[in-house]
Structure 1
Amino acid sequence: MTNIPGRGVIPPPGARFAWRRALLSSCLALALSGPASANLDQQVQFTLDAPRLSSALIQLSQQSGLAIVFSDRQIRDLPATPVVGTNTTTEALNTLLAGSNLTWEVVDERIIAVYPIECEPAAGNCAGAAELVADYPIYAPGLEETWVYGTTITGSRIRRTSYTGGAPVDILSSPDIELSGAQTLGELLKFIPAVAGNATSTAISNGGDGTATVTLRGLPASNTLVLINGRRVANDGLAGESVDLNSIPPAAVERIEILKDGASAIYGSDAIAGVVNVIMKRDFHGFLAESFYGEASDGDLDTTSHTLQYGTGLPEGSFFISATYYDQGALFSRNRKVSASADTRPLGGTDQRSSATPNARIMLPDGTTVIATDDSYRPATEEDLYNYRIETSAVVPMKRKSLYSNVSYDFSERITGYAEFSYLDTDAKATLAPTPVFTAFEQTPLPVAADNIYNSFGVELEDVRRRLIELPPRRQRNESQVNRFSAVLEGLFSDWNWDAGYAWSRSEAEETTYNIVNADNLRRAIGPAADCQGGPVDDCVAVNLTGPQGSISNEQLSYIWATGEVSGYSKLSSLSFNINGGLEGLPAGRTDIAVGMEIRDEATSKRPSALLAGISTIGAANFEATNGDRRATELYAESVVPLWKSASGLSHVALEAAVRFSDYDDFGDTTNPKIALRWQAGPELLLRANYAEGFRAPSLNELYEGATESQDFLDDPCTQAANVGVLPGCQQQADPTRNQFLTVKGGNGDLEPETSDSYSAGLVWTPGGIPGLAFSADYFHIDQENVVSSSAQFIVNQNARYGAFEQLVTRDDMGNLALIQATNLNIGERRVKGADLALTYHYPKRSFGQFSVIGSATWIQDYLARLDSTAPRLDLAGTFRDEASEGLGGIPEWKAQLGLRWKYERWQSSWQMHYVDSMKEILPGTDQTREIDEWLVHDLQLNYTFDVLDGLRLTLGIDNLMDEAAPLAASAFNDNIDGRTHELKGRFWYTRLSQRF
């Protein structure tokens, strides 16, 4: 049985394998009851936009309902001319095949055969159907037929004849990925208009771990479900909340489908904002060798990638394997103007340099602050701060090795087996500034004893701040290994499709932080002299923490020098069974039904080294171990019911409905329905509306995370003199030079699921008067409740303004925040409203080539969020608040892409524009706002396929042609920009050379 969805044309059993040898791969489409020839002149609304002819023919057969057969071996690499609008099948076929040296005709009154024209100019004759029948017995009359209905699309389990459903789906094909020049999926998805908020990537160094995530609608990454070939996979190995996109090699990706709507009724947990379904390559034939090299115009961020791929058809199946090596160089903050200094006042920002300075900064008991000099001390000034950006990496250097393979096998004409395996190894290394020490603000204070041999003041010093630049810069190394395996049996039983599958994945990760401080040893080293008398006595070495830069000797460093390590894994295994088919006989057409079940086991573990677990380091996060597991059992049903169909068949109304029951052994069960209405109002206009309930099960990390210590960037209202004595929680002014505060967070085993209600309504318009034009607009509304939140900022604000949470907030005798305790709670709410717009126009092919315009945009009308039902709703649309300050990142009101593409013979080019609207931010330590400028970048790419070596292609590309600098975000922790929305790299050029045999 052919694996390609559609109508299969199969020869008699004795000739089956000979046929497979003759036709390497065949496209066979959805069948209708009448003969093909009877429907060729019927008007059909086509959207044939696949870049390759083989894929376009598959689309044509799916959308026309006619059976088509062709030899993939003969047309595998041919391009396709887009066909969008109302046409007859005859017109569409002629447009697709124009200039291809291919023709078509109806064979046996049922099948459209596409075949090459073999011409002998001297004789003036061309081979036709008779020669074709002799060469390919499949075209002979009297063939058997098998029925396979449509194809599945993200957001539905029902096989369909087109990609148009009740909810919007964006599709990025393999050529789209190539035209982007992106070498990672995180980089590719970053500029998708619907993506906003706190997605992580290697552009996030301090606070990142070399992973990449996607955030639709500005909701957290945990609210977007990432699938591979429609199946769940394990999250990031360090108890991650979502799948690491860097664990998916883009070279092996066939396409990416992005469902921008709630889909818990179809897929279960996590699909509140939408679904990103990564479809891996499967029908690949031949050998491909490809090399990529790119570099920023400033001479850094050198990036290389090498890929080898091989695929072949087998007598009873197929085989494909892909191997990729990727190496991304570093970009340092100091090498770009906007990120070179944490003091952005010259650029219109604020001063966020650190008060932990290379020369000890000491607050004396009388409240005065002094700075150590070479031989004494002087009063500290506002300029006595440290620019930590001179050491930090802005883009994390990373190496990645990946292997992906799949194989299919036809057990019979009705049963096919499919298995895939992937392995990926990643090594990322970030550089952070040397370790800072704040003796008064560790979880266990570290006062310098009055009789410490280096304390010349003779009194205990509680607040000493020192940047230990005698140590090398901190290095954070993240290593991960991801293994995935899945096996599926799929087949036909009568006219019903079924599949049974097993999937297993495991993501292991290790994080090592070098050049940090052993807090226990430092406590002894700066404590009473009696407790630290030197190596021969008690193995303790006193440390001169109160001196100037260079006053800490190598012996002292060796005593406090430490390394922190953490390892962990996430694993997932599942068993699933699905069946779908149809019921004929209804007046308006066939009713499609799908039902299925899934049993899923999840587990995670995060294990710190003894130093980290014992809250015994400075310069890395201290935390307790995390361990958890659970089982989920789910049942679902889905149906598409035609309600009405016009006499001409050009207008019809269909109802789509689904429901999923999910039972978790840790919190209980939930049922989530979905209903959609789709009205094809004539050949030019489709109207659709959708309602869905969604949920997100609390992650294993949110449930079982051990107590975790971090230095969070927070705004303390008590640092502002105007609030002192006015706000109930601000009895004295806190130190205004501090912006990082000790926070302890942890899991909560009593969490309930987050819930949501999603609404959308839209249209797809393909005007007959403008052939090649397609426009869509969809309005969306998401209400989310019971949001899991662990907000130290909310607790600090409520404590300062109302005196609440006294048991969770600790201040020292000077009024400074010493500790905030924040555990996970179901207290948040969100409401997001906006619209998605999309435009595609394929200009009619001319002598100068084929032009296409492709654009999309997302408008966020409202993004109302509140951390607690007692707090006011804040509209975050058009604002930026950094994740390091517990914000949801940048949520621009408008984000858009517009691309112009051109094809002419062996040439192909792309001009892509990315636009991000301006945003407002609150300046740190103030109530003032400033505007982050809008941002527009231009990407160009040019391809040429040589005729000397068939299949040799050269690509030249430039990202950010005008070298448009990322706009200043004064409140951003990483590099003074919103690194999740904008890019620091500037102009970046690349070249790619590929050879396919």
Structure 2
Amino acid sequence: MFKRTKLATCLLVAFGGGIGFSASPVLAQSATSAGTERIEVTGSRLRSLEGESSSPVQVVTGEEIAKAGIVNVQELLTKNPTVGVPGISRTNSNFATSSAGVATVDLRNLGSDRTLVLVNGRRFVAGVPGSASVDLNTIPTEFIERVEILTGGASATYGSDAVAGVVNIILKKNFQGLSVNAQHGVSEKGDDRKDVFSMTMGANSENGRGNIMAHIGFSDQGAVMARDHGVPFDNISLAYTTRKPEDVFKFVGPFYSSYGSSGRFFGDNGTYTVDANGNVVPWSTNGPAGDGVGAYGYNRQNDRYLAIPTKRFVFATQGEYAIDDNHSAWLEANYAQTQTKSRLEPFPLDSEALFPSSGGQVPAEFLVNGSVVVNPLIPAGILADLVDNDGDGLRDYFFSRRLSEVGTRGNKADRDTFRIATGLRGSIFDGWDYDTYVSYGATKESQVSSGQVNVLNFAQALQAMTDVDDVDGDGNTTEAVCISADARAQGCVPANIFGAGNISADALKYILAPGMLSTFTSQKLAGGVIRGEPFALPAGKVGVAAGFEWREEYARTEFDALQQAGLNAGNAIPRTEGSFSVRELFAETRIPLVKDQILAKSLSLNAAIRSSDYSTVGRTFSWTTGLEWAPTRDLRVRATKALAVRAPNINELYSPASQTFPQVQDPCVGVTATSTGARDDACRADPGVAANIAANGSFTLNQSDAQGVSGYDSGNPNLKEETGKTWTLGLVYAPSALKNVVFTADYFRVKIEDAITNVGRQTSLNQCYGGDTYFCQFIIRRPANIGANSAGSLEYVNSPATNSGGLFTSGVDLTASYSDRVGPGRLSGRIAYTYLDDGYELPVARLGTKDPFVGEIGAARDRAALSVGYTYKDFAINTTTTYIGKSYLDDQLFGRGVVSVPSYTQFDFQASYTYGKATWYFGMDNAFNAKGPKTDSNALLWGTTGAGTAADVYDAIGRRYYAGVRFDL
């Protein structure tokens, strides 16, 4: 049976958790002649007696997971200072059109796609279609032995996507018996209900050569409404010129949306609405005092989720059987079924979405059989103030309205993830072993969306007349009917938008357009590695490992036909489908250079290389070099330098052009025939602009053209790989004089070049007409022959994916851990602290203009997590304190370091008592009800829409309680 060495235990504590690497007796053993276990740690394919690594690795143990009372391991990982703001979580995805409620992880705030998530050291299928992001909802929390977090490029060891680092989730092994856990929790507001049940079983075969385990888990996390957690209505932030945080913002409320349920109608002399009694009254959004007009705006916060309800069912099994003393076969299988639901306010519709060709003009009068007829649904008070806006002799109007009769928007999603992996491993001969594996994984999502309308049908339903000729044959000649006979044949019923609740159920049947989304993601993987010690040097044996890997990724995302065509009042989202494959060879070595010398108890060199051949970007190459130096028994110094790569994912490569309607400023406005400057010359070079200037004296835009700019976001099949250059330098200090105390300090530096990004549209315009013609390829203007008033106006400003960006971050990670007997019990503690020295994004690297993010909200300079636990006999208490330092708003808003928010500290604890085979526990999250800094509910300046704070950075729910029991039989 494998045994862990004393030194390995010490080093694993240094890595952050003091967790033991247990090994199954049925595993094919990789051992020395003395039978001592060799350990593989995240970041290396080699196994060593000491389990040392030249890369910094922090560990979250299964015991810590159990003592946190979490449902999803994302909840605990985000407390680690090395982990940035998650790309997707329960509290930041309510407004997402897809993948709402997914749980991802992001190391160093460099993007979830640059963090590689492994399970038992192997890749796991993505949970977000077209990306590399794994949904942590699909990993059974109670089945996790530990989580190893390696920060720094690891592409040479694990391949693409490990630019920021690796999160390696290690599942339990060789479990025997039965463990059952049941838990219930709720917030102090009575929401965020949490019910958890799990069961883990394991047994050895009769002959002792095999072990099989199975885990079943269910969790149900309830919804949290924003209105119940300090954001009861919409509010707005007003900026002041002071640096004092308490004076920076003034929150005004109630502050409502101008898209009200009763409708806002624009006449010739004012704006109107229809009150509950059917009277036409002046429009007022918030009901200002003194004018006698009530508030007709809409309180969006009343309908918004703060946290998405999520149900999970997970099943996992793994087993191993020793074929003989040297070879064994193993199997892993996972299945997860997740249900999520988002909810937000009813759709805000304006007339331009229904009548885009006329700029939003809705006809109030129609020419039918040579006679002018009036829409009978328009109240007389509004009709009297309407005029002919387009010169056709018929009156028309504009409107905006909240479609409350349609109901709240949102989506219900069912996601199924399946993965199976199997392989052989064992010993070839003394000192050499092998490991082979194949796996297949797939994620399938089915989503139904509500709250959308068919804009073509809605436009027909607004064109109504009195049925004086009984065209529908029902004998009623006073009712309103749709003017179009074809529309009536398809079920058209007039929609009365004048006043709240007036759209009838029959009209809703005609205009409703529930949305559908279907996605499918698959991953095929095969690989193998052989490792051993071919010869010895004076300082020890040289270790080598070499192997291969083949992988194929596929993804498909397909919305319903209306969504693809942009006919449900939203932008068009085309179908995305694509795949790629990669073949890779890799090798690694560890060379002992010096041993047992003065100031060099040990000195060794590590190196790894990987050559990859992608079906998309072609050949890539990555490498890592590392040095480990122990000048004394108490001190170890480690350093690594690496070149990591990330190949573009399926979305970045194959997303088709998706239309959007951006707001941009045309740099050519005001240019004349005689004005001077590079911008002016570049503008006049366009034939359309020149024609416009000739006709108008200067380049002039009418309102329609100024607001009618379109553009397409798209992938790019010609993308190349990103490259990340990473450096780490650190030390591990375990002083002999201080028993069970370990300190670590690591400096990190990551620079990503050729980063894949979509160039900002205003940037393209400013640079194209500022002398950099590279950006002109994204701009399309209208031709000269379209007419003097529109000639040369912007038609499209596109934003395809390009390798034009860059990222940089650097800082220091510090950890200290302690565990020993204190008084009658045992005290353990660990603190992890990260100081972020620098961090910035290069939106367009060729411009060299940095957009710093260091110190901004979500990337505080100072972050720390302190865990303290004390155990006495059958009693235990464990606490976690999370600290986020003072932060600043994005420098693009007010300038760098001008507007700040205070530091934030959250305290969690759990107390437990073990009686017999049962452990009873009670815990509180955010025990002191710490509140994140306040922002407007619509995230106009920063934060998460609907949350009133940055809900993915700070806890937005508040104090929560939970209790449970765990039986180990």
Question: Post-superposition shift, 1:987?
Answer: 0.4
Contact 2:39 2:49 in 1 (8 A): yes
Give the structure 2 partner of residue 510 of structure 1. 446
The answer to whether structure 1 residue 749 and structure 2 residue 717 are counterparts is: yes
The answer to whether structure 1 residue 294 and structure 2 residue 269 are counterparts is: no
Question: Post-superposition shift, 1:482?
Answer: 0.5
The answer to whether structure 1 residue 986 and structure 2 residue 958 are counterparts is: yes
Give per-residue Cα distances to partners, 1:3-60, cap 9 Å, x unaligned.
Answer: xxxxxxxxxxxxxxxxxxxxxxx43457xxxxxxxxx9xx999347499x9975969x
Question: Post-superposition shift, 1:789?
Answer: 1.3
Give the structure 2 partner of residue 642 of structure 1. 592
Give the Cα separation in 2 of the matches to 1:192 and 1:790: 30
Give the structure 1 partner of residue 335 of structure 2. 423
Contact 1:533 1:541 in 2 (8 A): no
Structure 1 segment 53-64 matched on structure 2, within 5 A: 56=20
**1:443 and 1:961, CA in 2 relative to 1: closer, same or farther beyond 3 A?**
farther
Structure 1 segment 263-662 matched on structure 2, within 5 A: 263-314=154-205, 315=207, 316-338=209-231, 340-343=233-236, 348-349=250-251, 354-362=257-265, 371=273, 373=275, 374-376=278-280, 378=282, 385-440=297-352, 447-451=361-365, 453=375, 454=377, 456=383, 457-459=386-388, 464-494=399-429, 495-526=431-462, 532=484, 536=488, 539-545=491-497, 547-618=498-569, 622-647=572-597, 651-662=601-612
The answer to whether structure 1 residue 896 and structure 2 residue 798 are counterparts is: no
Give per-residue Cα distances to partners, 1:833-872, cap 9 Å, x unaligned.
Answer: 1111111122x31442111120101222111112112262
Give the Cα separation in 1 of the matches to 2:925 and 2:444: 33
Give the Cα separation in 1 of the matches to 2:722 and 2:742: 36
**1:540 and 1:841, CA in 2 relative to 1: closer, same or farther beyond 3 A?**
same
Question: Post-superposition shift, 1:709?
Answer: 4.9
Partner secondary structure for residue 199 of structure 1: coil
Contact 2:523 2:552 in 1 (8 A): yes
The answer to whether structure 1 residue 966 and structure 2 residue 932 are counterparts is: yes
Give the structure 1 partner of residue 841 of structure 2. 865
The answer to whether structure 1 residue 179 and structure 2 residue 67 are counterparts is: yes
Partner secondary structure for residue 536 of structure 2: coil
- Name the aligned partner's letter for residue 842 of structure 2: R
Partner secondary structure for residue 176 of structure 1: helix
**1:240 and 1:359, CA in 2 relative to 1: closer, same or farther beyond 3 A?**
farther
Give the Cα separation in 2 of the matches to 1:268 and 1:537: 59
Give the Cα separation in 2 of the matches to 1:806 and 1:158: 49
**1:221 and 1:977, CA in 2 relative to 1: closer, same or farther beyond 3 A?**
same
Partner secondary structure for residue 457 of structure 2: helix
Give the structure 2 partner of residue 855 of structure 1. 831
Contact 2:55 2:152 in 1 (8 A): yes
Partner secondary structure for residue 272 of structure 1: coil
Give the structure 2 partner of residue 33 of structure 1. none
Give the Cα separation in 1 of the matches to 2:763 and 2:398: 24
- Name the aligned partner's letter for residue 493 of structure 2: V
**1:55 and 1:354, CA in 2 relative to 1: closer, same or farther beyond 3 A?**
closer
**1:172 and 1:747, CA in 2 relative to 1: closer, same or farther beyond 3 A?**
same
Partner secondary structure for residue 517 of structure 1: coil
Give the Cα separation in 2 of the matches to 1:925 and 1:650: 53
Question: Post-superposition shift, 1:385?
Answer: 4.7
**1:873 and 1:566, CA in 2 relative to 1: closer, same or farther beyond 3 A?**
same
- Name the aligned partner's letter for residue 168 of structure 1: P
Give per-residue Cα distances to partners, 1:319-361, cap 9 Å, x unaligned.
Answer: 1000001101000111111464344569735788544332323
Give the structure 1 partner of residue 371 of structure 2. none
Structure 1 segment 712-861 matched on structure 2, within 5 A: 744-792=712-760, 794-795=762-763, 798=766, 808=779, 821-842=798-819, 844-861=820-837
**1:349 and 1:586, CA in 2 relative to 1: closer, same or farther beyond 3 A?**
farther
TM-score by length of 1: 0.79
Structure 1 segment 207-218 matched on structure 2, within 5 A: 207=96, 209-218=100-109
Contact 1:650 1:683 in 2 (8 A): no
Give the structure 1 partner of residue 474 of structure 2. none
Contact 1:827 1:867 in 2 (8 A): yes
**1:497 and 1:272, CA in 2 relative to 1: closer, same or farther beyond 3 A?**
same
Give the Cα separation in 1 of the matches to 2:592 and 2:337: 48
Give the Cα separation in 2 of the matches to 1:791 and 1:350: 35
Give the structure 1 partner of residue 82 of structure 2. 194
Partner secondary structure for residue 217 of structure 1: coil
The alignment's C-alpha RMSD in Å is: 3.9
**1:794 and 1:354, CA in 2 relative to 1: closer, same or farther beyond 3 A?**
farther
The answer to whether structure 1 residue 933 and structure 2 residue 902 are counterparts is: yes
Partner secondary structure for residue 645 of structure 2: strand
Structure 1 segment 186-265 matched on structure 2, within 5 A: 186-204=74-92, 205-207=94-96, 209-236=100-127, 238-265=129-156
**1:526 and 1:44, CA in 2 relative to 1: closer, same or farther beyond 3 A?**
closer
Give the Cα separation in 2 of the matches to 1:763 and 1:297: 44
Give per-residue Cα distances to partners, 1:589-609, cap 9 Å, x unaligned.
Answer: 111111000011111111221
Give the structure 1 partner of residue 690 of structure 2. none
Give the Cα separation in 2 of the matches to 1:450 and 1:828: 50
Give the structure 2 partner of residue 908 of structure 1. 876
Give the Cα separation in 2 of the matches to 1:875 and 1:699: 26
Give the structure 1 partner of residue 372 of structure 2. none
Contact 1:596 1:635 in 2 (8 A): yes
Give the Cα separation in 2 of the matches to 1:353 and 1:810: 38
Give per-residue Cα distances to partners, 1:458-489, cap 9 Å, x unaligned.
Answer: 44568532111122111311110000100021
- Name the aligned partner's letter for residue 630 of structure 1: F
Contact 1:672 1:692 in 2 (8 A): yes
Give per-residue Cα distances to partners, 1:420-465, cap 9 Å, x unaligned.
Answer: 1111111111111101113336895654235362563244568532
Partner secondary structure for residue 824 of structure 1: strand
- Name the aligned partner's letter for residue 228 of structure 1: V
- Name the aligned partner's letter for residue 467 of structure 1: R
Give the Cα separation in 2 of the matches to 1:303 and 1:926: 40
Give the structure 1 partner of residue 694 of structure 2. none
Give per-residue Cα distances to partners, 1:285-317, cap 9 Å, x unaligned.
Answer: 111111011110111001001011111122211
Give per-residue Cα distances to partners, 1:373-402, cap 9 Å, x unaligned.
Answer: 543353656877533111011111111111
**1:991 and 1:732, CA in 2 relative to 1: closer, same or farther beyond 3 A?**
farther
Give the Cα separation in 1 of the matches to 2:733 and 2:658: 52
More displaced stretch, 927-936 vs 167-176:
927-936
**1:50 and 1:642, CA in 2 relative to 1: closer, same or farther beyond 3 A?**
closer
Give per-residue Cα distances to partners, 1:55-92, cap 9 Å, x unaligned.
Answer: 75969xxxxxxxxx9999xxxxxxxxxxxxxxxxxxxx
Contact 1:434 1:467 in 2 (8 A): yes
Give the structure 1 partner of residue 10 of structure 2. 46
Give the Cα separation in 1 of the matches to 2:25 and 2:117: 34
- Name the aligned partner's letter for residue 756 of structure 2: V
The answer to whether structure 1 residue 152 and structure 2 residue 40 are counterparts is: yes
Give the Cα separation in 2 of the matches to 1:231 and 1:70: 22
TM-score by length of 2: 0.81
Question: Post-superposition shift, 1:584?
Answer: 3.5
Contact 2:319 2:330 in 1 (8 A): yes
Identity of aligned residues (%): 25
Question: Post-superposition shift, 1:585?
Answer: 2.5
**1:527 and 1:919, CA in 2 relative to 1: closer, same or farther beyond 3 A?**
farther
Give the structure 2 partner of residue 23 of structure 1. none
Question: Post-superposition shift, 1:641?
Answer: 0.8
Give the structure 1 partner of residue 476 of structure 2. none
Partner secondary structure for residue 645 of structure 1: strand
Contact 1:447 1:526 in 2 (8 A): no
Give the structure 1 partner of residue 851 of structure 2. 874
Contact 1:45 1:683 in 2 (8 A): no
